[in-house]
Amino acid sequence: MEKDVVLNAILTAMTSAFDGKDGDDWFNGLTATLDGVTPELASRLPAPGRSSLAAHLRHVVYTLEVVNARFSGEPLEPDWDAAWQQPTVTAQEWTALRSGLEEQRRALAKQIETRTEPSQRFLEEAIKNLVHLGYHIGAMRQILLSVN
């Protein structure tokens, strides 16, 4: 299989994960899931001891930062627990998270688009992170059902 076919498939899947389809549909993307969510709603816990939507989004943005750094060859020792430590967000923090998500999304797309010789590891990481993103989209949608 040609690398362009694989990379294009990954880009298409990534676009679907972020953009999905408008409306309350089974194939909503992350952007549609987050549209209209207020910082207050994002900060609500679905149950005691559970993570808020804001914490999930912070984790997703941080994961994308780590992936982009790794794909760029930057050494990075991630602190996975740190992304989950702050369950609430202010309006300013929520806006920054949403902007950070879009920034990291564009950076990841560029990493994939400009990759001329993708290694097996690169392809595996890209696919694993799409699966990871899908999990968190589903989790955030379930949280919204619980707290709304």
Alpha-carbon gap, residue 46 to 133, rounded angstroms: 20
Rounded mean pLDDT of 68-86?
90
Query: Hey, is 133 helix, strand or coil?
Result: helix
Domain CATH code at residue 15: 1.20.120.450
Output the pLDDT for position 76.
83
Output the average pLDDT for the chain. Answer: 92
For residue 118, how far is the Cα from the chain centroid?
Answer: 22
pLDDT (tens digit per residue) in 25-68: 667 899 999 999 999 999 999 999 999 999 999 999 999 999 99
Structural domain span for residue 76:
3-147
Output the pLDDT for position 148.
87
Quickly state the pLDDT bin for 3 (edges 50, 70, 90).
Answer: low
pTM of the model: 0.92
Residue 88 has pLDDT above 60, yes or no: yes
Alpha-carbon gap, residue 45 to 136, rounded angstroms: 15
Identify whether the C-beta of residue 46 lies closer than 8 Å to the C-beta of residue 89: no
Q: Which two tokens stand for residue 3?
A: 């690398």
Count of the separate structural domains present in the chain: 1
Phi, psi angles (nearest 5°) of residue 101: -60, -50
Q: Which two tokens stand for residue 55?
A: 């914490």
Q: What are the DSSP calls for 16-68, one per residue?
A: HHHHB-SSS-TTB-HHHHHTT--HHHHH--SSTTPPPHHHHHHHHHHHHHHHH
Rounded mean pLDDT of 58-86?
92
Phi, psi angles (nearest 5°) of residue 46: -70, -25
pLDDT (tens digit per residue) in 94-130: 999 999 999 999 999 999 999 888 889 999 999 999 9
Output the pLDDT for position 28.
80
Output the pLDDT for position 10.
94
- The DSSP letter of residue 92 is H
Residue 22 has pLDDT above 90, yes or no: no
